[in-house]
Amino acid sequence: MPKIVLVTGASSGFGRETVKMFAKDGYKIIAIGRRQERLKELKKELSECDIYTISLDIRDKKEVFDAIENLPLEYKNIDILVNNAGLALGLEKAQNALIEDWEVMIDTNIKGLLYITKAVLPRMIKRKSGYIFNLGSIAGNWPFKGANVYGSTKAFVQQFSLNLRNDLKDTNIRVTNIEPGFAKTEFSKIRFKNDDKKADSVYDGFQPLVGKDIANIIFMLSKLPLHVNVNTLEVMPTAQTWAGFALEQNC
């Protein structure tokens, strides 16, 4: 029987490439995102594959639980959940950032991820089988200017992933937090609110990660033997390293 993969944020970036990779390998896909047109295009592009699309906002608790509850029978037993939908809004210092942007990041990256997980988990537990991938970030591990709330949401995702591992002991369910660095997707376009020039300049002069790199990693991890659990996996472009500590002199 083909395995079933649910991918959130399937309309762009990592999520879209992850759908493509698993679909082409014969998996049945549940692809979630808000932009219905994008999901339709993806389904059309993968017309030979088995894709079930759901257009929903993961911030809407009721919508999420209803959608999972009402999945057609042949998609109900989800084997792999890729909690990928998420975003950063702004890169201002905390004192200058918009509280509304903070709320959207918390509602999406934390609460949305929790709703999907909570809705999908019962059947995985019942079947004593499953793999959950969460998309954290290097921003959850390392502080840097302007990452204030975005980084904190990803630190939440990391700790939640580790804590899930404890709670899911004896269920055979695996959990991995993937923590990418700079990756060229629509991420910066969203962060900089459609300022394409600013977004593109983030990736000037070096080779960033791309969606396919992360999809590849998720796909490879999913093929590891069942007794192997990678807890966290931080991945950067080779060109990216750390900036060192900042020091305010003469103060």
Is residue 13 a contact residue for ligand NDP (CB under 6 A)? Answer: yes
Is residue 65 a contact residue for ligand 8X3 (CB under 6 A)? Answer: no
Is residue 203 a contact residue for ligand 8X3 (CB under 6 A)? Answer: no
Q: Which stretch binds ligand NDP (CB under 6 A): 61-69, 120-128, 167-175, 182-190?
A: 182-190
Is residue 130 a contact residue for ligand NDP (CB under 6 A)? Answer: no
Is residue 109 a contact residue for ligand 8X3 (CB under 6 A)? Answer: no
**Which residues ranging from 121 to 140 are in contact with ligand 8X3 (CB under 6 A)?**
137-139
Q: Which stretch binds ligand NDP (CB under 6 A): 70-78, 79-87, 92-100, 239-247?
A: 79-87
Contact pick of 25, 63, 87, 213 for ligand NDP (by CB under 6 A): 87
| Radius of gyration (C-alpha) of the chain in whole angstroms | 18
Distance CA 155, CA 106 (A): 12
Is residue 190 a contact residue for ligand NDP (CB under 6 A)? Answer: yes
Residue 5 interacts with, from ligand NDP, ligand 8X3, none (CB under 5-8 Å by kind)? none
Distance CA 206, CA 170 (A): 44
The residues carrying an active-site annotation are 150
Cα 207-210-212 angle, rounded to 5 deg: 135
Nearest to ligand 8X3 of 50, 234 (CB atom): 234
Residue 190 interacts with, from ligand 8X3, ligand NDP, none (CB under 5-8 Å by kind)? ligand NDP
CA dihedral over 160, 162, 236, 147, signed as positive or negative: positive
Rounded least distance, CB 4 to ligand 8X3, Å:
27
Is residue 182 a contact residue for ligand NDP (CB under 6 A)? Answer: yes
